[in-house]
Amino acid sequence: MRKLLAIIVILVTFSASQARADEGMWLLPLIEKLNIGTMTEMGLKLTAEDLYSINQASVKDAIVIFGGGCTAEIVSPHGLLLTNHHCGYGQIQNHSTVEHDYLNNGFWAMSKEEELPNPGLSVTFLVRIEDVTSRVLGKVNPDMTEAARREAIQAESAAITSEATKGTHYNARVSSFYSGNQYFLLIYEVFSDVRLVGTPPNSIGKYGHDSDNWMWPRHTCDFSVFRVYMGPDGKPAQYSKDNVPLKPKHYLPVSIKNLQKNDFAMVMGYPGTTTRYMTSYEVDEAMKITNANRVKIRGARQEIWMKDMMADPKVNIQYASKYAGSSNYWKFSIGQNAGLTRLRTAEKKAAFEAEYMKWVNADPARKAKYGNALSLIENAVKGRAEKYNVSQYMREALSTELLGFAGQMTMLEEALVKKDAERINGMTGRLKRSVENFYGDYNYPTDQKTTKAMLKLYRTDIDPKYWPSFYKLIDTKFKGNIDAFVDNIFAKSIFVSQEKLAAFLEAPSLKVLQKDPAFIVAKSINEMNSTLMKDLQGFSADLSKGQRLYMAGVMEYQPDKTQYPDANSTMRLTYGKVLDYYPYDAVHYNWYTTLDGVVQKYKKGDYEFDLPQRLIDLNNKREYGRYGSPDGYMPVCFITNNDITGGNSGSPVINGNGELIGLAFDGNWEAMTGNIAFEPDLQRCINVDIRYVLWVIDIYSGAGYLLNEMDIRQ
């Protein structure tokens, strides 16, 4: 094991000098050894200690996990925070009503007293990272089963996190890297009082909607503003009027200096998941099952939602965030499949695997160690294909809103059967707290139509042996009529009515619950899903083992190639430069867009490309203030060759002086393969220029007082 770890360090250290600067999501504690020389040559003026330090304030102390799936950055000594508009979209939507439509009209708190609290929203600061590989893997041996290995790793990880957080208010977790060949302990501090300060209207913050999503050129001012609060003692605290604005260890200065092509740019944030070491078998599965199903099922659901959203302003508000969340990776899957086909990614990986196996088989020791890695992956992927397809259909098609909510009642049913008063009280209390959030964003006629469509789609596409038991009820009691079956659910279920469900939770009855038509359906879905998960466990164990061995073998096989770890929602740094690109023959995309381009896309009355008249007027008058380019245009967005993925949304784009120059918010259509295979000539990170953000806050919205908190450099 020590030999393997030494190989990892040696290979990554050597390969860093050979890597293209635009590829790789790097761990901050390793920047000093691996990257700082190249970064300095490219234009970085900071030291590695300035970027990541556990002894003094550093750039990492200004970067946070926003909620559960985005990144944000602190930009003032008073806890002011910037992230993407689409990252704050759920909170903006929660505060919106037909009377106070912040989604379509925008919102600005003109004082701290007007800032809006967001129950359930938190931001998470990284305190430190520590390599614990030797301790974690010291508890395993090659003779263990995968289940025993997993249990040993989980037990030791739990012990490590317990020791690390004892006597503190910190959180911690041990994360796996290089497919289980390396482990790091990450210590976090979580603040749960985060208030909405401001947001532009959809027509600015979501300009282009689905049509422009994942596309360049882009003209979206994708930002929102929040503030983090702490208790009077300086520690994290739940929302209270007594809380005070956070005093951060570090905040980012903001640059409004002119950008130029080839300027140095780095991105720090929390990329979610990449699978760069995916095999050809897994690529095939992603294309034929994961992406294909997502496109088909979500496309059908979104068509229903959009029709209702366009017909009713209230439904539009209720479903805005849900629709955006669904459509984002629906379109991503379309683009990724197109890209994987165009670039012949599976074929290229298969060719690499053939050469890799020649190397493995050339040495008896290597063959004994790595020889079955690819066959484990192949057999697992092919063996699970049918059930894996069904499991995705269940997640995507059968988890409709009402049925999904009713499915949460299975644990309450267990408590009622056992007459466990303590558990009953705990479960009903938790469910009561979730009721208001659910029904506030729920329109049962929309869900009723969606449920009918999804149940029909599942029955049409899935083998009857995988039909949950409620399909028998459809055939026996409703003569196969899914519409009538669903109508019966929505006519009789307590879950359709907030009032009926609230009354039930005050005095929960086992008889009422077990006879509820929505619960009957949800329970049968859960039962089928549980059976599928058990069947898939064996394949998962072989897949995990194969991936771990394959990763270790690849690192030994390619000592001259970059072997950075896949993204796994831990803080990473990527560096590159402001850069244009040529997506197709004879086609050139410039590296920036302008406010003139925003107005050129304008379509009056079109929900995707409508614009406020005030923005058009300000552009016509060239009222750009100090935020316009010296070259006479108002900058809007720009692109870099930084390596990002989902989770990086809201990440700061930082120049060589450590100053904020933009917010990352998207990738480009031609490189939708990026999570699986990085394409250096095509892959670009799309960012909103911080000058456009400040212009919208100050000139357009009249909230320029917020800029007085910032350290603006020009």
Is there a single domain that holds both residue 475 and residue 580? no
Q: How many residues does the chain have?
A: 714
Q: Say how many CA atoms lie within 13 Å of 20 toward its Cβ.
A: 11
- Split into its structural domains, the chain has a count of 3
Give me the torsion for CA of 147, 152, 155, 156, rounded to 10°.
-150
pLDDT reported for residue 436: 84
Beta 254-255 vs 712-713: how paired, if at all? parallel
**Residue 545 host element (H or E):** helix 517-557
**Which of 53, 391, 649, 701 is labelled catalytic?**
649
499 and 460 belong to one structural domain: yes
242, 361: one domain: no
78 catalytically annotated: no
Task: Report if residue 159 sits inside a domain.
Answer: yes
Residue 561 domain flag: no
Query: Is the pLDDT score of 23 beyond 90?
Result: no
Instruction: Check if the beta carbon of residue 535 is closer than 8 Å to that of residue 529.
Output: no
Q: Does the residue 263 lie in any domain?
A: no
Let me know whether 582 and 544 are in one domain: no
**Is 192 among the residues known to form the active site?**
no
604 and 666 co-located in one domain: yes
Could you tell me which residues come within 8 angstroms of residue 668 by beta carbon, excluding any fewer than 6 positions away? 214, 215, 216, 583, 639, 682, 683, 684, 686
CA distance 88 to 241: 22
At 562 the pLDDT is 67
Terminal-residue alpha carbon distance, the chain: 52
Pick the catalytic residue: 61, 212, 222, 263? Answer: 222
Task: Kindly state whether residues 179 and 35 are assigned to the same domain.
Answer: yes
Q: Assess contact for 650 and 66: CB atoms under 8 A.
A: yes
Residue 479 Rama label (left phi>0; alpha psi -120 to 50; beta): left
Q: What's the average model confidence in pLDDT over 310-325? A: 94
* Torsion over CA: 415, 420, 421, 426 (sign): negative
What pLDDT does residue 658 have? 98
**Domain assignment present for 492:** yes
696: β partners: none
Range of the domain at 388: 280-548
pLDDT band at 14 (very low <50, low <70, confident <90, very high): very low
Band the pLDDT of 550: cuts 50, 70, 90: very high
The pLDDT value given to residue 462: 98
pLDDT at 357 over 70: yes
Phi, psi dihedrals of residue 583, rounded to the nearest 5°? -75, -30
For 458-484, write each residue's pLDDT tens digit.
Answer: 999 999 999 999 999 999 999 999 999
- pLDDT score for 124: 98
Give 247-315 as a DSSP string: --S----EE-SPP-TT-EEEEEE---B--TT--HHHHHHIIIIIIHHHHHHHHHHHHHHHHHHHH-HHH
177 with 39, same domain: the answer is: yes
Look over the chain and give the mean of its residue pLDDT values, rounded to a whole number.
94
Distance CA 341, CA 335 (A): 10
pLDDT at 559: 84
Domain end (from 548, 580, 599):
548
560 inside domain: no
Taking residues 369-377, what's their average pLDDT?
A: 97
Residue 487's pLDDT band, with cuts at 50, 70 and 90, is very high
Cβ neighbours of 141 (radius 10 Å): 11
437 confidence band (pLDDT: 50, 70, 90): confident
**Does a structural domain hold residue 264?**
no
With respect to residue 217, please indicate whether it lies within any of the assigned structural domains.
Answer: no
Distance (Å, rounded) from C-alpha 582 to C-alpha 590?
9
pLDDT band at 6 (very low <50, low <70, confident <90, very high): very low
Average pLDDT over residues 603-612: 96
Do 241 and 316 belong together in one domain? no
Same domain, 620 and 685: yes
In a shared domain, residues 600 and 470: no
CA atoms within 13 A on the CB side of 503: 9
3-state secondary structure 563-598: CCCCCECCCEEEEEEECCEEEECCEEECCEEEHHHH
| pLDDT of 120 over the 80 cut | yes
Distance of alpha carbon 188 from alpha carbon 695, whole angstroms: 34
Average pLDDT over residues 533-547: 94
What average pLDDT does this structure show over 54-81?
97
Q: Could you tell me the pLDDT band of residue 3, with boundaries at 50, 70 and 90?
A: very low
Q: Does the pLDDT value for residue 4 go beyond 70? A: no
Structure tokens at 190: 């979580």
Do residue 179 and residue 238 come from a single domain? yes
| Catalytic status, residue 17 | no
- The torsion defined by the Cα of 314, 320, 321 and 324, in degrees rounded to 10, comes to 170
- For 281-298, write each residue's pLDDT tens digit: 999 999 999 999 999 999
pLDDT for 191 equals 98
682-710 residue pLDDT tens: 999 999 999 999 999 999 999 999 999 99
Confidence of residue 21 (pLDDT cuts 50, 70, 90): very low
Q: CB neighbours of 5 closer than 8 A, spacing ≥ 6?
A: 133, 134, 182
Say whether both 229 and 308 belong to one domain.
no
Q: What sign results for the dihedral spanned by CA atoms 138, 141, 147, 148?
A: negative
Nearest to 577 by CA among 641, 636, 635: 641
Side-chain-facing half-sphere of 436: CA atoms under 13 Å: 6
Query: Residue 406: what pLDDT?
Result: 95
Catalytic member of 78, 86, 219, 250 = 86
The answer to whether position 512 is within a domain reads yes
pLDDT at 503 over 80: yes
pLDDT of residue 84 exceeding 90? yes
Q: pLDDT at residue 10 above 90?
A: no
When pLDDT is cut at 50, 70 and 90, the band that residue 22 belongs to is: low
